[in-house]
Structure 1
Amino acid sequence: MSTTPRARVGRPRATAGSTQLAPRDEILDAAAALFVENGFAATTTRAIAERIGIRQASLYYHFAGKDDILVELLERTVRPSVEFAKTLREDPSLASAAALHTLAVRDVETLAAAPHNIGTLYLLPEANRDRFDGFRASRRELRDAYGAFAMDAATDALRATWTLAELGAAIIHLVEIVIPLRRDGEMIDAVRIADACLRLCGLDDAAIAAATGR
């Protein structure tokens, strides 16, 4: 008696792999490229799957939809710096000015390494939806970490005229200048951007040299 083979249930498998990335990271990389090239609204999950030669069902094994993909891409530009800020706060031997400078350098490097300059999508209207609350909360946490370090490092005159939130917002925007610099093909110098963050706090060249050990 002949039997019919039973269909195997499980993860849909890719038919072709174009990079050495893990499947989830390959999807993220392809999506980042398409979001930046064509815009988020114009990019479909089918287009993302076709970009790397997999079935659309394989993409849905990893992500529920393109909103989830964008959330993870944006979170990856922020969470490493948030976690690094926590590490810096736990070091009692590190002065606030040095911590601020170190965090700014790391943050610039993270943004400079983000796939396809995904930071350009920070201002997407879609990023204001509830689905992106986690990303916005992470970015506020990073802003407040900058603000706390900056208020401790700032001159008395500056502390008298700025709030922690204002100073944190100014510094995070200064750090994120790396995004348009990268878009325009300009040179990115993480140390110079971090130096500018300390100058924003009112520190002069001598104080910056002392804070950075130069």
Structure 2
Amino acid sequence: MESSGGGRRVGRPRAAQRPDSGLAPRAELLAAAAELFTTRGYAATTTRAVAERAGMRQASMYHYVSGKEELLADLLESTVTPSLACARELLADDVRASEERLAELCRTDVELLCGGPHNLGGLYLLPEVRTERFAGFHAVRAELKDAYRQLIAATAAGGALVKSELDLRTDLVFGLIEGVILVHRSDPERSVAEFARATADAALRIVGAAAA
């Protein structure tokens, strides 16, 4: 028997391959999808496989999500929204130098992207992500990129740039941050903190700002 809310399901055995995690059903589905999308591939993962990995029947899954696209959209947005919250706080901070705030955003973003158990940033490259279904993710990502642009423009070096050059530096910094996902995947033994520090330093050099 399934519960209709976000509590634990009762009355059925869990799938043997996934121990009881204590998560609510939707969170279990997201965790299962994150694992399978990043190990098997999005196209190769069926809704049945996600449901079984989460310890439920496929029919029960649809009480919590509409399907694979909803799971992918939620996972993608989860890679951006914490960094955006940090960026908003840093933009509102009128005490610290802009170079320091930009470096902190870079470090935080890299730590969030690389610090999880699964390489969710690799899902950005999926062709499915270009469709209208993922407009929410693209909107949040665009807002984060604009926060980078504002912080870059607020630095002494960034403030001296013409618009086209500012846009280019922003593209380069933002691409650097997201590209760290692939670099970290090829060197998983290196600490995330080390990647974060090195990326922040490289971003400041791209902007032409002094290290914070």
TM-score of the aligned structures, taking structure 2 as reference length? 0.85
Moved over 6 A (4+): none
Query: CA 1:197–1:84 in structure 2 vs 1: closer, same or farther (change >3 Å)?
Result: same
Partner of 2:119: helix, strand, or coil? helix
The structure whose Rg is larger is 1
Residue 22 (structure 1) shift:
3.2
CA-to-partner distance for each residue in 1:133-178, whole Å, 9 max, x for gaps?
0101111111111111112215269614744432222111111232
Partner of 1:15: helix, strand, or coil? coil
2:208 — aligned with what?
202
Instruction: Supply the AA of the counterpart residue of 1:168.
Output: T
Instruction: Supply the AA of the counterpart residue of 2:13.
Output: T
2:13 — aligned with what?
15
CA-to-partner distance for each residue in 1:172-208, whole Å, 9 max, x for gaps?
11112321123213424211111111111112xxx31
Distance, in Å, in 1 between the alignment partners of 2:46 and 2:117 is: 18
Query: CA 1:31–1:62 in structure 2 vs 1: closer, same or farther (change >3 Å)?
Result: same
Distance, in Å, in 2 between the alignment partners of 1:91 and 1:37 is: 40
CA-to-partner distance for each residue in 1:89-132, whole Å, 9 max, x for gaps?
11110221111011111100110123410110101110011110
Asked if structure 1 preserves the Cα contact closer than 8 Å seen for 2:2 and 2:60, the reply is no
Query: CA 1:175–1:156 in structure 2 vs 1: closer, same or farther (change >3 Å)?
Result: closer
TM-score of the aligned structures, taking structure 1 as reference length? 0.84
Structure 1 unaligned segments of length 5 or more: list them: 1-6
Match of 1:177 among 170, 175, 179: 179
- What fraction of aligned residue pairs are identical, expressed as a percent? 43
Asked if structure 1 preserves the Cα contact closer than 8 Å seen for 2:153 and 2:159, the reply is no
Aligned residues, how many? Answer: 200
Residue 54 (structure 1) shift:
1.1
Residue 58 (structure 1) shift:
2.7
Asked if structure 2 preserves the Cα contact closer than 8 Å seen for 1:101 and 1:198, the reply is yes
Distance, in Å, in 1 between the alignment partners of 2:22 and 2:165 is: 47
Distance, in Å, in 2 between the alignment partners of 1:28 and 1:38 is: 15
Asked if structure 2 preserves the Cα contact closer than 8 Å seen for 1:32 and 1:73, the reply is yes
Structure 2 unaligned segments of length 5 or more: list them: none
Asked if structure 2 preserves the Cα contact closer than 8 Å seen for 1:148 and 1:168, the reply is no
1:137 — aligned with what?
139
Partner of 2:89: helix, strand, or coil? helix
